[in-house]
Amino acid sequence: MSLVKKPVTGMKDILPAEMEIRDYVTSLVKETYGGYGFSSIETPCVEHIENLSSKQGGENEKLIFKILKRGEKLNLAEAKEEADLVDSGLRYDLTLPLSRYYANHANELPLPFKALQMGSVWRADRPQKGRFRQFVQCDIDILGDATNLAEIELILATTTLLGKLDFHGFTVRINDRRILKAMAEYAGFSQEDHDQIFIILDKMDKIGLDGVLAELIESGFDKSAAEKYCSLFSNEERGTDGIRKMQESLQGVLEPGCAENLIAIIETVDQIRQADFKICFDPTLVRGMSYYTGTIFEIGMDAFGSSVAGGGRYDEMIGRFTGQKTCACGFSIGFERIITILMEQGFQVPKGNEKYAFLIEKGADSARVSEVMKEADAYRKKGSRVLVAQMNKNKKFQKEQLIKEGYLPDHIRDFYNTELKK
Amino acid sequence: MSLVKKPVTGMKDILPAEMEIRDYVTSLVKETYGGYGFSSIETPCVEHIENLSSKQGGENEKLIFKILKRGEKLNLAEAKEEADLVDSGLRYDLTLPLSRYYANHANELPLPFKALQMGSVWRADRPQKGRFRQFVQCDIDILGDATNLAEIELILATTTLLGKLDFHGFTVRINDRRILKAMAEYAGFSQEDHDQIFIILDKMDKIGLDGVLAELIESGFDKSAAEKYCSLFSNEERGTDGIRKMQESLQGVLEPGCAENLIAIIETVDQIRQADFKICFDPTLVRGMSYYTGTIFEIGMDAFGSSVAGGGRYDEMIGRFTGQKTCACGFSIGFERIITILMEQGFQVPKGNEKYAFLIEKGADSARVSEVMKEADAYRKKGSRVLVAQMNKNKKFQKEQLIKEGYLPDHIRDFYNTELKK
């Protein structure tokens, strides 16, 4: 019987070297976010198909791995469409399960509730280099806090974590969906066009301001409205002054308090940050998901050309489960992206302990094996990792392999059956 | 739009208190097994349906969560049976994926390879108290070591871990499938009856020796053979002397070296064990899975009435993927069982750090918030966990909630907008 050796399409086996980095980042995440008072929680990987198909997940809902009904519930003969065959699916993100979790357990949880979730999610995307169909997401969320303390804590916790991973000089860009909307309203665009306009605005970093203007006009929007809209982005100031100027321009259309809120977040973060980064206002920041209702933020690293974290406030989502409004704000690091960057940089996990390999000659009796194992345990008690293994026939090759696995040559010790042979 | 709040049938949301214990056990597992030279690896949760249905998984193959084909590959109109609809499923254990992984990556891995896997598996079992359809397995396996160094290391690593979790006075029971077979052969049972006989023998702890004898006869086996078989179990010695006596009885039918091997394992483990436990020979130990080929072992705890770990040698399984024989031996702790025991015992995670809650009065300006956050960071740097939160209107209730979450009353501090209000 011959079985399939490769993993299923688009998913991957993780080798020890990568796993060591993943485990290290995971423990740093738990330690750092734990220090900020976030509690780890977990939801099942399998979710109700009704929840997964509830239009909260945007494009991701097209990519669900669906799970077949079992036993008598599966009636193939009478099934007319896919929906008749399935009752659940693999989660495509951690935000929808968090909302269900909070709706289910709010009475048992503190208020505000600070949640940390790390877990795999699945999307049946077209397979491509560096993108996988199973990948880990790592989210922190604060539920039930309407104030910007939530944003400030999320930004501090996330940037502190990145700092501990030795990332420097990155930028937190921040905006507010209400500013985005006010800008579009100011220009005279009607509300039903907002989403399309934001999709075009989102291309700013690729096509520039002229490109955005051209594409707006090309898409049939009024030329003078498009020009008025684009004039809002000509101000290059990215600090709190930039927000004040935007506030002036948007007088009458921008919700009161919105600009002051952003300014307070930036000022507070600037005063107490732990890591080496900038925080700036970016009126071109859009963030894709339509569930965001207020502040949105993203962390980019120039050196790697893409964002490594993103999040925002989504005050309306949990209410869809409960009927009761629950404020919510979250920040998610790109776990897989960060692992890839660390691997490419040749990142070495800082070791408090050293690796040893003890090789025992074949045929050693239990007295001799015990002796070697006792010595190994003494090393372990001092914090070392000790691999005890049979000495292979080809000892030279075995040692070469161990050196490749990170064992120093003088940390590989031979143990013969009798001390005489030494 | 109202969504489903409960998790899917048979799966569960994990609340912060349980998650804290799970995270603690997980990090202890990684640290302890890492100390023994085991490397963490991971395989996708989704496996090829061909592999999952390859008769390696026994009864578990009836319990697979199957995943629907996607896109054009799904042809509902022409599908005649379930198999036409699915291409993959959720893994039901970690042993089958490990075999596939090793077959796929042997060239990139050291020999012997010591693997640690922790991960969720899924079985569509009938839901019942304390048993879930998604649960974590935690396996260590040594591949490519034909000697009993593998068994010794697996037993030492597992018992050391249990000791660190404060389990005492437990028993490692050990046997060998070859002894099981030799006993059946000695009694005169034919080979095709072995599995049925082992299923009856496995009930020894429930029905006793007389019960086993009665059930063998009832099942139609020859009375004198059944009596001869049962006479083998009348010797109550459970140490190495018991093995020697069994070896004498089985002279001529037992594979040479088998008894000596078991004796060497017990003697060596006895000399170097780190934790408080007994290791003994148990000729009635069967272990269900038919893939075991040699030693089998299990850890029971009298106080909890069930086993908390089990494993054995399965030298033939990986060859089914590769066509090349690869020795393998594994030990698996019952992760969920251990978590349940710890929860029932009111286990408290040992804390190197203390928890504080800083409550900030509503309306604090950014200078004040910064001040409080800076103090929180100073605490964090000393290893404390600090929750910073808005002070709720009902401060008394908020504090009661925090105390329930494990914050000591004098670790909850109020911060007002101005120092004057203090």
pLDDT in tens, B275-320: 889 999 999 999 877 789 999 999 988 777 778 999 999 998 888 8
User: How many structural domains compose chain B?
Assistant: 2
Mutate to test the interface with A, among B15, B42, B381 (most CBs of A within 10 A): B42
**A38 and A174 co-located in one domain:** yes
Neighbours of A252 (CB within 10 A): 7
Domain boundary among A320, A344, A368: A344
B112/A390 touch (CB, cutoff 8 Å), yes or no: yes
Here the CATH number for the domain that contains residue B85 is 3.30.930.10
**B381 and B267 co-located in one domain:** no
pLDDT of residue B353: 64
Residue B85, phi then psi, degrees to nearest 5: -95, -20
Q: Catalogue the E-assigned strands of B41-132.
A: 46-48, 66-68, 86-90, 113-122
A13, A90, A369: residue with CB nearest B104: A13
A111, A385, A404: residue with CB nearest B401: A111
Please indicate, yes or no, if residue B223 is contained in any of the structural domains: no
A108, A360, A405: residue with CB nearest B110: A405
pLDDT of residue B421: 47
Q: A359 - beta bridge partners?
A: A389, A414
**A155-172 per-position pLDDT tens digit:** 999 999 999 999 998 999
B43, B45, B55: residue with CB nearest A45: B45
Q: Which residues of B touch A20 (CB under 8 A)?
A: 39-40
CA distance B388 to A151: 12
pLDDT of residue B420: 46
Please indicate, yes or no, if residue B308 is contained in any of the structural domains: yes
Q: How far is A210 from chain B (nearest CA, A)?
A: 37
Q: How many CB pairs lie under 8 A apart between chains A and B?
A: 307
**B370 and B398 co-located in one domain:** yes
ipTM (interface pTM): 0.92
B86, B320, B387: residue with CB nearest A37: B387
Please indicate, yes or no, if residue B378 is contained in any of the structural domains: yes
CA distance A281 to A405: 46
Please indicate, yes or no, if residue B233 is contained in any of the structural domains: no
B5/A45 touch (CB, cutoff 8 Å), yes or no: no
Please indicate, yes or no, if residue A350 is contained in any of the structural domains: no
- Contact of B147 with A390, CB cutoff 8 Å: yes
B4/A50 touch (CB, cutoff 8 Å), yes or no: yes
* CA-to-CA dists, residue B349 to A42, A72, A201, angstroms: 18, 44, 49
B65/A85 touch (CB, cutoff 8 Å), yes or no: no
Average pLDDT over residues B123-142: 92
Q: Which residues of A touch B339 (CB under 8 A)?
A: none
Q: Which residue has tokens 């969560």? A: B65
A389/B112 touch (CB, cutoff 8 Å), yes or no: yes
Please indicate, yes or no, if residue A6 is contained in any of the structural domains: no
A3/B321 touch (CB, cutoff 8 Å), yes or no: yes
- Residues comprising chain B, all counted: 422
Token duo for residue A257: 């308090």
pLDDT of residue B422: 43
A389/B149 touch (CB, cutoff 8 Å), yes or no: yes
Among all residues of chain A, which has the CA nearest to that of B42?
Answer: A14
**A303 and A391 co-located in one domain:** no
**A60 and A138 co-located in one domain:** yes
CA distance A139 to A159: 13
Domain boundary among B344, B373, B407: B344
A40/B112 touch (CB, cutoff 8 Å), yes or no: no
**B330 and B400 co-located in one domain:** no
Q: How far is A219 from chain B (nearest CA, A)?
A: 31
Tell me the DSSP string of B249-308. HTTTTSPTTHHHHHHHHHHHHHHH--SSEEEEE-TT---S-TT--SEEEEEEEGGGTEEE
A27, A39, A320: residue with CB nearest B3: A320
Tell whether the model's pLDDT for residue B155 goes beyond 70.
yes
**B266 and B411 co-located in one domain:** no
**A407 and A325 co-located in one domain:** no
State the angle between helix axes of A16-35 and A149-164 in degrees (0 to 180), rounded to the nearest 10.
Answer: 140
B392/A272 touch (CB, cutoff 8 Å), yes or no: no
Among all residues of chain A, which has the CA nearest to that of B3?
Answer: A321
pLDDT of residue B317: 86
Q: Which residues of B touch A272 (CB under 8 A)?
A: 370, 373-374, 377
A13/B112 touch (CB, cutoff 8 Å), yes or no: no
Domain boundary among B344, B368, B402: B344
SS3 content of chain B, % helix, strand, coil (to 5): 45, 20, 35
**A296 and A320 co-located in one domain:** yes
CA distance B281 to B183: 14
**B36-63 per-position pLDDT tens digit:** 999 999 999 999 999 998 877 677 888 9
B23, B68, B390: residue with CB nearest A145: B390
Mutate to test the interface with B, among A94, A373, A395, A399 (most CBs of B within 10 A): A373
Nearest one of B419, B351, B362, B358 to B394, comparing CA atoms: B362
Among all residues of chain A, which has the CA nearest to that of B97?
Answer: A7
Tell whether the model's pLDDT for residue B222 goes beyond 60.
yes
**A334 and A388 co-located in one domain:** no
CA B320 to chain centre: 24
Q: What mean pLDDT is reported for chain B?
A: 91
Please indicate, yes or no, if residue B247 is contained in any of the structural domains: no
Please indicate, yes or no, if residue A201 is contained in any of the structural domains: yes
Token duo for residue A101: 């979790």
**B39 and B176 co-located in one domain:** yes
A35/B149 touch (CB, cutoff 8 Å), yes or no: no
* CA-to-CA dists, residue A159 to A272, A276, B120, angstroms: 11, 8, 30
Q: Which residues of A touch B1 (CB under 8 A)?
A: 54-55, 320
Q: What is the pTM of this model?
A: 0.93
**A333 and A417 co-located in one domain:** no
Mutate to test the interface with A, among B136, B356, B387, B396 (most CBs of A within 10 A): B387
Q: Which residues of A touch B365 (CB under 8 A)?
A: 264
- Contact of A238 with A172, CB cutoff 8 Å: no
Q: Please identify every stretch of chain A with a pLDDT value under 50, giving residue numbers as ranges.
A: 420-422
B152, B377, B385: residue with CB nearest A272: B377
B42, B111, B353: residue with CB nearest A14: B42
Token duo for residue B292: 């075991």
pLDDT of residue B205: 86
Token duo for residue A157: 């916790």
pLDDT of residue A152: 96
Tell whether the model's pLDDT for residue B1 goes beyond 60.
no
Query: Whole domain around residue B398: which residue ranges?
Result: 355-421
Radius of gyration of chain B (CA): 27
